[in-house]
Structure 1
């Protein structure tokens, strides 16, 4: 009888462990150590860059994400477009205006990452949804970590650089089409601290 009880307990324990959700690691963006830049060609000879210093967000991913081919994650990044910065006042006014970010009606830019696919020990692709000016489209963020993700067990900050290339016209930014390039190169540099 005692053996049957022990066997039943072992089976039940194994079933509960198998049914338990995988452990997850949780982080938040450190706004003081994070920034986003958006660069676009200008007159075909140079470029203009806008910076978004006001950034908040969080990251949640499985503990075993670094060893899985693909993992479901939660990456939420929100930029305050009203606080964007540019190299000169004329460019800043245009970027905040109706032809570009239209910050009066759309004060934030948001990226929601849903899937992480490791491409090497320090690089990955994050697939998700980008929302700009009320338009939401699928985009991919190409990420490089400062150290192999597998070495981080959730107790140390994560530093990463992410890049994304989008078509501004797809988000309703059609102004100055003969002067400003169509493709925008976005770079995010961020430090994420454990929760």
Structure 2
């Protein structure tokens, strides 16, 4: 198969994250608005070109006060930095249907190279004859690397918010006509 353009089906996809809270638990959230440009042979992603853009104002942790704080200058500062982007620079096959996708991630005005583990989950036709493919991806970001350093010390030791952010994507995409 040759490289094909794929449109992300946002109704059947998701971008989720989690971060340690008070050293004792994790808080989870999602981004509800994003777009992507994917050109790939889904059976061999080594030549893929992947571009993601996430609307940071769409953050959703199921708590309005926390979401508004995340949008503020203490964290994402969506007034100045409305999007997070990722542009792939290399794709390495690590196992059957498994890849390391490395690229430039830009967040809060800082661009750093990050690698995500990507799994090709399969392909098929929907009831209307449209070709679909599925991918899952996981990665970890250090929020301090991007200047997101807001925190508070706890009386019992440790800090309110962990440095490591776990990111998880479930992507279903349709073959563009």
TM-score range, shorter chain: 0.7 to 0.9
Q: 1:81 aligns with which of 31, 56, 69?
A: 56
Cα distance between partner residues in 1 of 2:66 and 2:151 = 12
SS in 2 for 1:95: helix
SS in 2 for 1:181: strand
TM-superposition CA deviations, 1:59-92 (whole Å, max 9, x none)? 11358736xxxx3431011111111111212211
Cα distance between partner residues in 1 of 2:29 and 2:108 = 16
Cα distance between partner residues in 1 of 2:134 and 2:5 = 14
Q: How large is the RMSD of aligned CA atoms in angstroms? A: 2.0
8 Å CA contact retained: 2:8, 2:172: yes
The two structures have a TM-score, normalised by structure 2, of 0.85
1:26 aligns with 2:5: yes
The two structures have a TM-score, normalised by structure 1, of 0.77
SS in 2 for 1:119: strand
Q: 2:95 aligns with which of 88, 95, 120?
A: 120
How far is the alpha carbon of 1:157 from its aligned partner?
1.4
Cα distance between partner residues in 1 of 2:48 and 2:65 = 39
Q: 2:17 aligns with which of 38, 42, 50?
A: 38
8 Å CA contact retained: 2:42, 2:133: no
Quickly say closer, same or farther: Cα 1:170–1:94, change in 2 above 3 A: same
Which has a greater percent of strand? Answer: 2
Which protein has the larger Cα radius of gyration, Structure 1 or Structure 2? Answer: 1
Cα distance between partner residues in 1 of 2:2 and 2:120 = 21
Structure 1: unaligned runs, 5 residues or longer: 1-21, 149-154
Matched residue, 2:110: 135
Cα distance between partner residues in 1 of 2:84 and 2:74 = 15
Q: 1:169 aligns with which of 118, 132, 144?
A: 144
Cα distance between partner residues in 2 of 1:110 and 1:34 = 17
Cα distance between partner residues in 2 of 1:176 and 1:100 = 10
